[in-house]
Amino acid sequence: MADIAVHEAVTSHDDHGAAGHGSITGISNNKLAMWLFLGSECLLFGGLISTYMLYRGRHGSGVGPAQLFDIPLTSVSSFVLLMSSLTMVMAVNSAKRKDDRNTNLWLTVTALLGSLFVGAQVYEFTSFYHEGVGFTTSLFSSSFFTLTGFHGVHVSIGVIMLLAMVAIISRNKVAGDKAEVVEMIGLYWHFVDVVWVVIFTLVYLIPA
Amino acid sequence: MAIIERTSAVPATVSGAGATALLTPTQSLGVFRRPVAATGWRAWVFTVDHKKIGIMYGFVAMFFFVVGGCEALLIRLQLAAPDNTVLSAGLYNEMFTMHATTMVFLFVMPMAAAFANYFLPLQVGARDVAFPRLNALSFWLFLFGGVFLNTSWFLGGAADGGWFMYSPNSSRLFSPSHGVDYWVLGLQIIGIASLVSAINLIVTVLNMRAPGMKLMNMPVFTWMVLVVQFLLLFALPVITVALFLLSFQRNFGAAFFDVGKGADPLLWQHLFWIFGHPEVYIIILPSFGIISEVLPTFSRKPLFGYKFVVFSGAAIGFVGWGVWAHHMFASGLGPVSVAVFSVATMLIAIPTGVKICNWTLTLWGGKLWFSTAMMFAIGVIVLFSIGGLSGVTHAVAPADTQQTDTYHIVGHFHYVIVGGAVMGLFSGFYYWWPKVFGKLLNERLGKWNFWLMFFGVNLTFAPMHILGMQGQPRRMVVWPEKLTGEGFFNLAFWNKIATLGSFTIALGVLLFLINVVYTAKKAGKAPLDPWDARTLEWMTASPPKEHNFDTIPTIHSLDEFFHRKYEEVDTDKGPRLVRVRSAEEVLAAEEAKADTHIHMPSPSYWPIVLALGLPIIAYGVIYNLLLSVVGAAVLLLGVFGWVLEPSVAEDSDYDPPAGGSETKELSSVG
């Protein structure tokens, strides 16, 4: 592998600025960095999920997962989030075809679906709180809100990135390769979705 | 989001004739003209040059080394005499907690980052790291995080739970001051700095090597740093989770580690050591890398078994993930866990032993040159072997259970950290000083520096093994006269020797600092290649030009620079390596092919602005969440300013060069 890579580097030898295009792995610097970051994120969620799995049964005589979760509601919001991955793919596809109008359209739809998911989570948290399960109620509730809250913050940051991207594309201020920037937001977005699949399965579907 | 760094350089070459004054400056975020100064404080504060950032890392880390060293001396003073009252019990707790935290997170790691930043691009033949602005961000986050952490001394007291901050000592009940909050938030900030830097350096090594530099042509230092960055990448998020949980417990009323509320205190221990044990290798591997450069150079031989050294470094990196629970043998994990972690811990001694054999065999039959750098490197082999051997004995769980939380452990890990990591870093100082500053550190002072530190380490930490076997507990604030015992195992005697040793080390470090000042003031210019070195970073001017290499070299072999100086010539005694070119001639040949158009990334305001946001948020978490909102606003300003700014300045951002028509580097203009 190394030999082929080196060959590529040699052929693109005319570009050797501090941040040249000639990447040895064939993956651009930006994308490689995003992959590494997501690799690191896996262990962040790994730690949070382990904490939840350890504590999900520790709620004393109070409300536990079995009584608390509204699985139909969360299934719908999970579906919404998964669909947003589809629209994200559409956005990346449009960006690759240099179709700004459709890129913006799909990015906006993705952001909308993401916001719906976050909205459903806010609704869910509020109703749990009204049922008497707050952040400090039990070890179960603390670890549940921490895990899902961290995921919610990740989705929210994704939504901000998507909307900022729309604004930056509209004003034609993208620094760098537009399609690649959209693709990187896409990588992050898909990662957050995949993590939700794991969380939804472990937290909501498999009984404690 | 900050990952989106623009790396594709627009053709932004400025030649004297090309840059006319008619262009209007591009405004950064519509407000400021972007910074372009090449001299004065602005050239440092807004720089994205990996060499300047490396130097700043080095100076700040050295400052924290002195701070952490003073803390150590206070601890040793307190333990020098029976029933001593130099420090109160509370202050003593803060002192040992902050000593360890400072030395690990604010000295050894950033000092390794200083070397990595400076030499990684040079060793792989690149002109900068992959993300120069992120590099600046890492440095400022480290600096601000370190300062934030240490402001706790003046704002109600520092953290006092020991560096691994076990529950319940970390809880509000047992540590009511804000010290632990400062510790948690400070480490979060420093952790982000390390994570960003890890991503940056991995991409640099994987993607930006010079043509022909295969992975197995990379210098060992680069290899070891690469392994370390992967360890950081996967270890840091685990401590991040632990710190968040602790933060939520202390500030928002959760009970993650509160046994009274049914929590499992082992959760913290597991999370901490899943990070903490790879951290041990994060600390030691850069030093292994440094001495793997120094030993061959001063033995005039190639490194013995390069591939073995590289693969054993990677093996240490892998196995390092499976040994964390050997820190927890006394916590009642159960026989199966203990057995598994015992065996894994014994296994990790194999790749480490391979390295020690390889270094020794590098020396074997070499024409040894006992420069200060070489002496420090040999010091590492000796002292690390001692620390490593006592370490392997801790893999034996029944013995370890006896030694847990005694001075025996303190002695062991100081041998590997001071004797292994710190001595290695000092070897690097003496080896690379002429490269970075163009002047040789004084060798006479250097030898004194080495011998004082070498004897100091043994005087300080060898007695601790005896103290520990006698049962002196770690973190003990006083020892009463009547319990000191008699004869050889007299606690009073060995405690006094340890204190004497610690001041000997301090004297050695002081001599180093004097050496630095003396060299800066008195020393003349160093020769281009003072050590007859082997690797690529020496194939450029000292100090290197802003763009590192006039032309990116094409690599043909491991030890490229050596093979350009030496060639195999047939003599009547068989083929011999003979010096055919001087370093100056090699460099002149490269300069003759110099690129005329070199684009370098331009300075930026945004890394320091973005970094400033985080400590403000952290103060807000402790005192008033409104302040956090302000910090978040600063952070967002930084992010958006950053995203909207091209990483390479437009021609119009520069004043036209003053002198005539000669071609100038973009970033040296203005």
Q: What mean pLDDT do residues A117-139 have?
A: 93
For chain B, the helix, strand and coil percentages under 3-state DSSP, each to the nearest 5: 65, 5, 30
- The pLDDT of residue B13 is 37
3-state SS class at B568: strand
Average pLDDT along chain A: 86
Give B4-64 as a 3 state SS string. CCCCCCCCCCCECCCCCCCCCCCEECCCEECCCCCCCCHHHHCCCCHHHHHHHHHHHHHHH
> Cβ separation of A47 and B200 shorter than 8 Å?
no
Q: In the predicted model, is pLDDT for residue A136 greater than 50? A: yes
Q: Which residues of chain B have pLDDT under 70?
A: 1-33, 36-37, 647-670
Q: Bridge partners of B473?
A: B406
Rounded-to-integer distance, Cα B617 and Cα B607, Å: 16
Select the residue of A24, A37, A161 nearest B207 (Cβ to Cβ). A24
Q: Examine the pLDDT at A75 and tell me if it is beyond 90.
A: yes
Judged against a pLDDT cut of 70, whether residue A17 lies above it is answered with: no
Q: Within the 7-36 window of chain A, which residues sit less than 8 Å (CB to CB) from chain B?
A: 9-10, 13, 15-21, 23-25, 27-30, 32-34, 36
- d(C-alpha A204, C-alpha A198), whole Å: 10
Question: Looking at chain B, which residue has its C-alpha nearest residue A53?
Answer: B267
Q: How far is A6 from chain B (nearest CA, A)?
A: 6
Query: What pLDDT score does B441 carry?
Result: 95
Architecture in CATH of A28-205: Up-down Bundle (1.20)
Q: Is the peptide bond before B657 cis (omega within 30 degrees of 0)?
A: no
Start-to-end Cα distance in chain B: 31
Rounded to 5°, the CA angle B186-B190-B196 comes to: 150
User: Would you state the pLDDT for residue B26?
Assistant: 53
Strand-pair category, B32-33 with B27-28: antiparallel
The C-alpha of B139 sits at a distance from chain A's nearest C-alpha, in angstroms, of: 18
pLDDT (mean) for A163-172: 90
**Interchain CB distance below 8 Å, B245 and A51:** yes
Examine the pLDDT at A16 and tell me if it is beyond 70: no
* CB-CB contact of B472 with B405 (8 Å): no
| Rounded CA separation A107/A125 (Å) | 27
Residue B178 tokens, joined:
């804000």
DSSP string, B481-542: GGGS-SGGG-HHHHHHHHHHHHHHHHHHHHHHHHHHHHHHHH--PPPSSTT---SGGGSS-S
| B71: nearest Cα among B461, B514, B502, B426 | B502
C-alpha span between B621 and A144 (Å, rounded): 22
Q: Does the distance separating the beta carbons of B7 and A19 come in below 8 Å?
A: yes
Alpha helix segments (H runs only) across A12-138: 29-55, 65-68, 71-96, 100-130
Measured between beta carbons, the chain A residues lying within 8 angstroms of B310 are none
- Give B134→chain A minimum CA distance, Å: 11
Q: Structural domain boundaries of chain A?
A: 28-205
A18 to B600: CB separation less than 8 angstroms, yes or no: yes
